[in-house]
């Protein structure tokens, strides 16, 4: 996981909603949508007996268009967010048309506390606040212009003011409620994805990201994906000698070195204990080797135990082989290389090219294993 400033921040295109959550939400939209359609049809029938024909347009609009949106969200889940926005646009049109055409009917005002909740459900709390502000502004304009457009007075001002206040209170309460939920959801997601001690992605989230990158490399022939698996040398001795708190301090310092070394777009993963995985998308093996060597040196220079002993890491470095290599095979090879680095004396990089990369000149800190292990 890469970070420019905050090691615990996640860089990605955007959070993906859970599929089960989306299915539940779609089921709720089906139920709520058909209740809304039934209500709109009922309002249309009631108003047909009381008003001119064109004044039923606001209530009729939802009943006519909403079934197509409900059908669309069932058949085209990929357009899920666009369809939710479509529902919001439809409700906004219904509100505005009601303000301009039917503001002489108190019956219309009973729905005002419902509209803010609908926007928050459809759009999320940040967008919903802006949409509600726009809706309130248009409603007020509609109330002012209604007598000039329709040649009849609107509902009395005290009734109108009461409706606007009820709408505003509903907006504030809904915003607070959704804001609190969003804050705790973000916190829970952070705890589920990110290791609180090191700021690295946890194993499950990290391996999911690796799987995505492998699929991306399979689709883009020129893209390369290097992976570096490293383990802290003699970490058990550090814990036994200085206690687990000292071990935690070492983990934090090493994580800080990693966060200061990786690029935006790289991923830092804690597989468990003192074992970590780095995903380096877009890096050829020779560039990944230079990065790994710089990281190894930085850790050796910057991280020390309480007694001044330098802390070192052993690194296994390899590349994903596109065209069907499994995630377990890639990790097994990186793990094999990392343990080879330990066997060769620790504080080393053990790497393996795929035959397409020129071998590196041997050095005391690196071991080259040729072939396709």
Q: Note down pLDDT in tens along the chain; length 373 residues.
A: 554 443 333 333 334 556 777 788 888 888 888 998 898 888 788 777 766 666 778 778 888 998 999 888 878 777 888 889 999 999 999 888 888 888 887 877 888 888 899 999 898 888 999 999 999 999 999 999 999 988 889 999 999 999 999 999 999 999 999 889 888 888 888 888 999 899 999 999 999 999 999 999 999 878 999 999 999 999 988 888 777 888 899 999 999 999 999 999 999 999 999 999 999 999 999 999 999 999 999 999 999 888 888 999 999 999 999 888 999 999 999 999 999 999 988 999 998 765 333 333 334 455 555 555 4
Torsion angle, alpha carbons of 329, 332, 334, 340, to 10: -140
> So what's the pLDDT on residue 360?
37
- Which residue, among 313, 325, 338, 151, has the nearest Cα to 238 in the 3D structure? 313
Contact present, 255 and 200 (Cβ < 8 Å): yes
Q: Domains of the chain, with CATH numbers? A: 19-192 (no CATH), 201-368 (3.30.70.270)
pLDDT in the model for residue 199 = 92
Q: How far is residue 291 from each of residues 94, 114, 349, measured CA to CA in Å? A: 58, 56, 11
**What pLDDT does residue 371 have?**
56
How far apart, in whole angstroms, are the C-alpha atoms of residue 285 and residue 355? 11
pLDDT value at residue 4: 42
334/329 Cα distance (integer angstroms): 9
pTM attached to this predicted model: 0.62
Strands 267-272 and 225-232: unpaired
Phi, psi of 4 (to 5 degrees): -85, -45
Helix (H) or strand (E) holding 143: helix 125-150
Between CA 178 and CA 169 the distance in angstroms is 14
H-run or E-run covering 366 = strand 366-368
Count Cβ atoms within 10 A of the Cβ of residue 47 and give its class: 0-12 exposed, 13-18 middle, 19 or more buried: buried
Confirm if 302 and 253 have CB atoms less than 8 A apart: yes
For residue 133, with 0-12 CB atoms within 10 Å meaning exposed, 13-18 middle and 19 or more buried, which class applies?
exposed
Q: Are 294 and 324 in contact (CB under 8 A)?
A: no
Residue of 57, 126, 127 lying closest to 96 (CA atoms): 57
* Helix (H/G/I), strand (E/B), else coil: 219: helix
Q: Which residues of 9-24 are buried (b: 16+ CB within 10 A; e: fewer)?
A: ebeeeeeeeeeeeeee
Which region holds residue 304: left if phi is over 0, alpha if psi is between -120 and 50, else beta?
Answer: beta
- In a 3-state reduction of DSSP, which class is residue 228? strand
CA atoms of 350 and 91, how far apart (whole Å) = 62
Which pLDDT value is given to residue 17? 57
Q: Are 137 and 80 spatial neighbours (Cβ–Cβ below 8 Å)?
A: no
Tell me the C-alpha distance between 95 and 79, whole Å: 24
């Amino acid at each position: 996981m890469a970070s420019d400033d905050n090691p615990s921040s996640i860089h990605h295109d955007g959070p993906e909603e859970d599929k089960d959550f989306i299915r539940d939400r779609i089921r709720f939209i089906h139920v709520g949508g058909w209740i809304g359609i039934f209500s709109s049809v009922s309002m249309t029938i009631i108003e047909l007996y009381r008003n001119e024909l064109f004044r039923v347009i606001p209530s009729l609009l939802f009943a006519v268009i909403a079934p197509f949106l409900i059908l669309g969200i069932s058949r085209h889940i990929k357009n899920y967010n666009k369809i939710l926005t479509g529902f919001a646009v439809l409700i906004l049109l219904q509100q505005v048309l009601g303000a301009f055409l039917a503001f002489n009917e108190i019956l219309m005002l009973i729905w005002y506390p419902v509209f803010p909740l609908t926007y928050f459900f459809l759009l999320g709390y940040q967008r919903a606040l802006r949409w509600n502000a726009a809706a309130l502004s248009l409603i007020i304009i509609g109330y002012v212009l209604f007598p000039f457009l329709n040649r009849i007075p609107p509902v009395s001002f005290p009734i109108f003011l009461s409706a606007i206040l009820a709408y505003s209170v509903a907006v504030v309460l809904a915003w607070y409620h959704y804001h609190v939920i969003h804050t705790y959801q973000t916190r829970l997601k952070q705890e589920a994805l990110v290791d609180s001690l090191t700021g690295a992605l946890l194993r499950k989230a990290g391996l999911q990201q690796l799987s995505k990158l492998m699929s991306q490399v399979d689709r883009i022939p020129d893209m390369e994906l290097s992976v570096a698996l490293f383990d802290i040398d003699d970490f058990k001795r550090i814990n036994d000698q200085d206690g687990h708190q000292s071990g935690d301090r070492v983990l934090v310092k090493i994580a800080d070195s990693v966060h200061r070394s990786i690029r935006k777009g790289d991923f830092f993963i804690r597989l468990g204990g003192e074992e970590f995985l780095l995903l380096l998308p877009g890096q050829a093996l020779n560039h990944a080797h230079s990065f790994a060597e710089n990281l190894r040196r930085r850790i050796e220079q910057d991280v020390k135990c309480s007694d001044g002993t330098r802390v070192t890491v052993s690194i296994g470095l390899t590349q994903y082989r596109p065209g069907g290599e499994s995630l377990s095979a890639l990790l097994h090879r990186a793990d094999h290389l990392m343990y080879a680095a330990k066997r060769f004396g620790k504080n080393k990089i053990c790497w393996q090219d795929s035959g397409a990369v020129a071998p590196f000149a041997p050095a005391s800190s690196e071991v080259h294993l040729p072939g396709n292990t």
